[in-house]
Structure 1
Amino acid sequence: MPSIQNNEAKHPLISIVMASYQGEKYIEEQIHSHLNQDYPHLELVYLDDASTDRTWSILQEMALKDARIKIFQNEKNLGYVGSFEKAIQLAQGEWIALSDQDDIWEKQKLSRLYHTIGSHSLIYADSQLIDDKGNELPQRMSDLKNQIPYTSPLMYTFGAWAPGHSMLFQKSILKHAFPFPRFVSHDYYIGFLATCFQGVTYLPEILVQYRQHDQNAIGANLKKAPKHYATRKQRDLRIQQRVQLLAEFCPEEKALEKQVLRKLARDFCSTNLFARIRRTYLVMKYRDKMLAYKKKGALSKWLYPFKLLFTIY
């Protein structure tokens, strides 16, 4: 019989981390899909963000049924970024898999991600969109977004789409990452940090049933994503903060990328003509990486930098 130590070496601990809020309608079905995973070495870390419905009661009931489940509750609402930040720090696994409260995971999700990630820091997969009743919609995430590997920090300049609900990553990439910034999503931040290490790879398999409904914090439709600004000035400030964040956290070892991001952060904070010209030139030079996640053709990628003469996004 193989020893426990040998099994753990072959199958290191993966922590499923889920932050919940007002999730009573779907959360139990999602938890069952976690418990049914065929990967053999798991802990399930669930943090409730001060829900006022039956979410906490459901988590308590489920924790009594399986010793792998560890439950925690915020005394006051921290929001989804703060809750995921806290829950990740509570996890003991070498690997982290983030989870929404309302999806359904395929049984082989974690085993497929773990056995495919190779030397990369993070991997994510495709998702099938479903409606609030669990019926398949006629679209996958890959139909809506450009699902690609991310090999350079520059690829996060204007956004990215490696969604948290389908990712697995090495917890070690977050060693110096706390506290999480509040002006970007936690999965955007984690994906960017992964590009600063061994990069992000993509598995073109459907491993999550990604539920769309009126209460999504962030759904497949970006128009539903929460806005952190009310005016154009506030929007520009958020973009400047985001690019400054990339420049700050890009490691010195990636000297070219750090230099480019520093220059871009500087020129995004200026309105003078020379700054506008410099940022247009920089994005033109590195457009294939900076605009990789956008579903744009070669001509659109060539034209896009010229808008930076007039705006910063």
Structure 2
Amino acid sequence: MISVAMAVYNGEKYLEVQLDSIVRQTKQADEIVIVDDCSTDQSMEIIKKFQGKHPNIRVYRNKSTLGYKKNFREVIRLCQGDLIFLSDQDDFWMPEKVHIMSDIMETHPDIQVLASSFEFMDADGKSYSVKLRKGMSNNNLYLKPVQANSLVSVTFDEFCSHNYFQGCSMALSKTAANAYLANWTDRIPHDWLIALLASHENGFYFLNKPLFCYRTHSQNTIGIPKGKKAEEWVRLKFAEDMRDAMTTVRDIWPEEFKKSDVYQKRILFADAHIQALHNRSFWDLIWQNLNPVYHELKSGRARLMDLYFVLFK
């Protein structure tokens, strides 16, 4: 049984396009589960219109606004499928997304979570591309080169430093969904938690084939601050993310964390790096450049920009 899990909040502008792309899949989902997080626009009316034509759509509405992390937990909890596709409200699925990904997971039962690549599209639905940087893939989100159409495993250690894949790119086995629900935390985004848990069991894989269009617009759930705060946000984000990820690892696998010098060094470095950036400490950053965790966290260019930030911003 295949489920689609969609979390909705004030999605009227793009919701119809996304729902239409889901119901037009070459391989149909058995259920499309939608949880509306108390939208104040026409989202519920749009959903009900689709539900009238597609009885496999199940709709729920929260009693109060939960926020996207808790809302995704709720919609995943309500899914009954052995395979669960996560869906944003504003993207567009290519017609064979469900078919291709479900076939791969049937053929490879060791895969707990499968993420696909994507294409960018703007607010008007026009596709655009970004220049692929050397040594990267997945529109520069994954810090490793992967050949087109290849299927590769992504390790737990990689996810301890960075999150590379959006939730909307993922299909989850029931095992992965249950692990996520059992270990839920709002410390990190739902997709990163899912990735950590699956990769810990050697069950996270990436298919470097674009199977959906990821829409970028001013109302994306996770956005970059504007103005003067943007630069500080960019400088701090990677270290804060590493700290939060390692804290999550410590909470879920405490004995494993205690035994690992690597994990402890990461969390100590992240705290020290955040402090150095807050204090605008040039010499602390120079000293930190001797730490291999800094090289793991940021590229050479990013480390130079940290120095520029503390001196001139």
TM-score computed with the length of structure 2 as normaliser: 0.73
Q: 2:216 aligns with which of 212, 215, 240?
A: 212
Q: Distance in 2 between matches of 1:259 and 1:249?
A: 17
Q: 1:202 aligns with which of 198, 203, 206?
A: 206
- What amino acid does structure 2 have at the position aligned with 1:144? N
Q: Secondary structure at the match of 1:15?
A: strand
Residues 216-255 of structure 1 mapped to structure 2, 5 A cutoff: 216-218=220-222, 239-250=242-253
For 1:84, the equivalent position in structure 2 comes to 72
Post-superposition Cα deviations, 1:176-201, rounded to whole Å, max 9, x if no partner, equal 43363222111111111110123322
Unaligned runs of 5+ residues in structure 1 are 1-12, 272-276, 308-313
On the 8 A contact 1:63/1:70 being kept in 2, the answer is yes
Q: Distance in 2 between matches of 1:70 and 1:203?
A: 29
Residues 1-80 of structure 1 mapped to structure 2, 5 A cutoff: 13-80=1-68
On the 8 A contact 2:2/2:81 being kept in 1, the answer is yes
For 2:128, the equivalent position in structure 1 comes to 137
On the 8 A contact 2:257/2:264 being kept in 1, the answer is no
On the 8 A contact 1:251/1:258 being kept in 2, the answer is no
Q: Secondary structure at the match of 1:173?
A: helix
Q: Secondary structure at the match of 1:206?
A: strand
| 1:161 positional shift | 0.9
For 1:160, the equivalent position in structure 2 comes to 163
Q: Distance in 2 between matches of 1:257 and 1:136?
A: 47
Runs of 4+ in 1 over 6 A off after TM superposition: 232-238, 254-257
CA RMSD between the two structures: 3.9
On the 8 A contact 1:153/1:257 being kept in 2, the answer is no
Change (3 A) 1:58 1:150: same
Q: 143-152 vs 18-27, which deviates more?
A: 143-152
Q: Distance in 2 between matches of 1:264 and 1:218?
A: 24
Post-superposition Cα deviations, 1:44-70, rounded to whole Å, max 9, x if no partner, equal 000100001110111122112112100
For 1:120, the equivalent position in structure 2 comes to 111
Q: 2:176 aligns with which of 173, 177, 194?
A: 173
| 1:144 positional shift | 3.1
- What amino acid does structure 1 have at the position aligned with 2:119? Q
| 1:43 positional shift | 1.0
Q: Secondary structure at the match of 1:177?
A: helix
Q: Distance in 2 between matches of 1:269 and 1:22?
A: 36
On the 8 A contact 1:122/1:199 being kept in 2, the answer is yes
Q: Secondary structure at the match of 1:88?
A: helix
**Would you say 1:103 and 2:91 are equivalent positions?**
yes
Unaligned runs of 5+ residues in structure 2 are 132-136, 145-151, 276-286, 308-313
- What amino acid does structure 1 have at the position aligned with 2:201? F
On the 8 A contact 2:15/2:90 being kept in 1, the answer is yes
Q: Distance in 1 between matches of 2:60 and 2:159?
A: 32
Q: Secondary structure at the match of 1:110?
A: helix
Q: Distance in 2 between matches of 1:233 and 1:167?
A: 27
Matched positions, count: 277
Post-superposition Cα deviations, 1:98-134, rounded to whole Å, max 9, x if no partner, equal 1110111011001111222422211111111111111
Change (3 A) 1:177 1:130: closer
Q: Distance in 2 between matches of 1:257 and 1:135?
A: 49
